[in-house]
């Protein structure tokens, strides 16, 4: 059992839970994730490790409450426990060793970008984070990223920082030159737009994919993605891939494939039948 030691509301539907998981806290690396099962028979939810404290033996999980299972997870309080946390899963982020990295986080994806920016900064890479939300209250991880490097905040409605999408602010950085790599995490359409933006500049762009996942072990095939025309499983081959080679159209299509199933599962679960369902890495 993993005890929840702290809880914070980061935006209207995004919550951070700091959870006891000493072994994972010690060995996890940027870019890796865990699969969480709240209790017996509960859905398995893939979640990025947004941060960790090896000395305290805790990891930070950031959860966007979108369906029944995630809503139940964020309803847990400090002192409550999570039954299983499997991980760390996936390959660690491929880090550049020097230069200037731009880390782009869209909405809840900013929590995924945070450990990448943290790891880059630790080895001396200059980090500029470009983070965006619909409006001010949806912007997350700004103070933590300001401790690491430069930060450009964007909001769709202009209520805070610069008005517009993260893509527009990233384009200005690319035009200014000196960007060695872009790491981008957020909605599929954001990552697609960023990959198209960086392509003519020849700037390598790493994206973290969040297809549907079930087992997280490469066995079920649920998280299949197409990269450079070949099939990969995001859980064991990723979750990060070269954004210039990802088939974002297929990713978006597969993301909606199970929507009816998920809605039905949520309804069934509300009626008391909570069998294992499918979920996206968050
Ligand atoms: P959102 O829809 O509020 O968008 C957040 C920001 O992303 C916007 O403010 C904007 O700056 C940018 N953005 C969105 N659409 C864009 C577009 N078409 N072009 C350019 N920029 C765009 O995001 P949210 O509701 O916080 O995030 C939810 C999405 O993030 C879900 O689709 C979820 O699956 C995805 N997500 C991905 C990962 C991952 O590992 N890739 C992790 C968590 C969540
Ligand atoms: Fe089953 Fe990746 S989640 S193969």
Per-residue CA distances from 35 to 172, 256, 262, 279 (Å)? 37, 21, 18, 10
Mean pLDDT of the chain: 91
Atom 1, ligand 2: residue with shortest CA distance: 220
CB 140 within 8 A of CB 11: yes
The residue out of 61, 89, 117 marking a domain boundary is 89
For the stretch 184-204, pLDDT in tens is 999 999 999 999 999 999 999
Atom 7, ligand 1: residue with shortest CA distance: 106
What the block records as the tokens of 42 is 């509960």
* Whether residue 121 is found in the same domain as residue 190: yes
Ligand 2 site-directed mutation target among 36, 221, 232, most atoms within 8 Å of CB: 221
* Whether residue 13 is found in the same domain as residue 83: yes
Tell me whether residue 263 is in a domain.
no
What is the domain-level CATH number for residue 188?
A: 3.40.50.80
What is the domain-level CATH number for residue 15?
A: 2.40.30.10
Q: What pLDDT, on a 0 to 100 scale, did the predictor assign at position 267?
A: 59
* Whether residue 104 is found in the same domain as residue 192: yes
CB 181 within 8 A of CB 171: no
Atom 4, ligand 2: residue with shortest CA distance: 218
Residues 6+ apart with CB under 8 A from 115: 30, 31, 48, 49, 50, 51, 93
Residue the block writes with tokens 């959860």: 63
Which ligand lies nearest the alpha carbon of 33?
Answer: 1
Range of the domain at 74: 2-89
* Whether residue 113 is found in the same domain as residue 186: yes
Cα of 133 to ligand 2 centre, how many Å?
29
* Whether residue 21 is found in the same domain as residue 114: no
Please state the pTM of the whole predicted model: 0.91
Counting the structural domains of the chain, the total is 2
For the stretch 51-94, pLDDT in tens is 999 999 999 999 999 888 899 999 999 999 999 999 999 999 99
Does the beta carbon of 2 sit less than 6 angstroms from any atom of ligand 1?
no
* Whether residue 80 is found in the same domain as residue 112: no
What the block records as the tokens of 213 is 């996942």
For the stretch 151-180, pLDDT in tens is 999 999 999 999 999 999 999 999 999 999
Cα of 133 to ligand 1 centre, how many Å?
8
Tell me whether residue 281 is in a domain.
no
For the stretch 111-148, pLDDT in tens is 999 999 999 999 999 999 999 999 999 999 999 999 99
The residue out of 149, 181, 202 marking a domain boundary is 202
* Whether residue 141 is found in the same domain as residue 197: yes
Does the beta carbon of 115 sit less than 6 angstroms from any atom of ligand 1?
no
């Amino acid at each position: 059992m993993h005890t929840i030691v702290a809880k914070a509301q980061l935006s209207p539907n995004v919550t951070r839970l700091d959870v006891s998981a000493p072994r994972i806290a010690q060995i996890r690396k940027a870019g890796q994730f865990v699969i969480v099962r709240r209790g017996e028979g509960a859905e398995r939810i893939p979640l990025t490790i947004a941060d960790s404290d090896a000395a305290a033996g805790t990891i930070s999980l950031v959860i966007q409450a979108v369906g029944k299972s995630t809503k139940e997870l964020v309803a847990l309080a400090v002192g409550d426990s999570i039954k299983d946390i499997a991980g760390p899963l996936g390959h660690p982020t491929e880090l550049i060793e020097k230069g200037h990295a731009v880390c782009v986080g869209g909405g809840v994806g900013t929590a995924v970008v945070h450990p990448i920016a943290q790891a880059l900064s630790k080895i001396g890479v200059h980090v500029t984070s470009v983070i965006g939300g619909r409006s001010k209250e949806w912007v997350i991880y700004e103070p933590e990223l300001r401790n690491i490097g430069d930060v450009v905040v964007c909001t769709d409605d202009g209520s805070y920082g610069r008005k517009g999408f993260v893509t527009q602010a990233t384009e200005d950085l690319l035009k200014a030159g000196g960007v060695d790599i872009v790491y981008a995490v957020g909605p599929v359409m954001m990552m697609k737009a960023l990959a198209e933006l960086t392509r003519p500049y020849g700037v390598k762009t790493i994206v973290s994919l969040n297809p549907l996942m079930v087992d997280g072990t490469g066995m079920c095939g649920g998280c299949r993605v197409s990269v450079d025309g070949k099939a990969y499983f995001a859980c064991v081959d990723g979750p990060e891939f070269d954004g210039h080679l990802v088939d974002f159209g297929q990713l978006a299509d597969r993301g909606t494939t199970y929507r009816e199933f998920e809605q039905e599962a949520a309804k069934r679960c509300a009626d008391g039948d909570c069998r294992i369902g499918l979920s996206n890495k968050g």
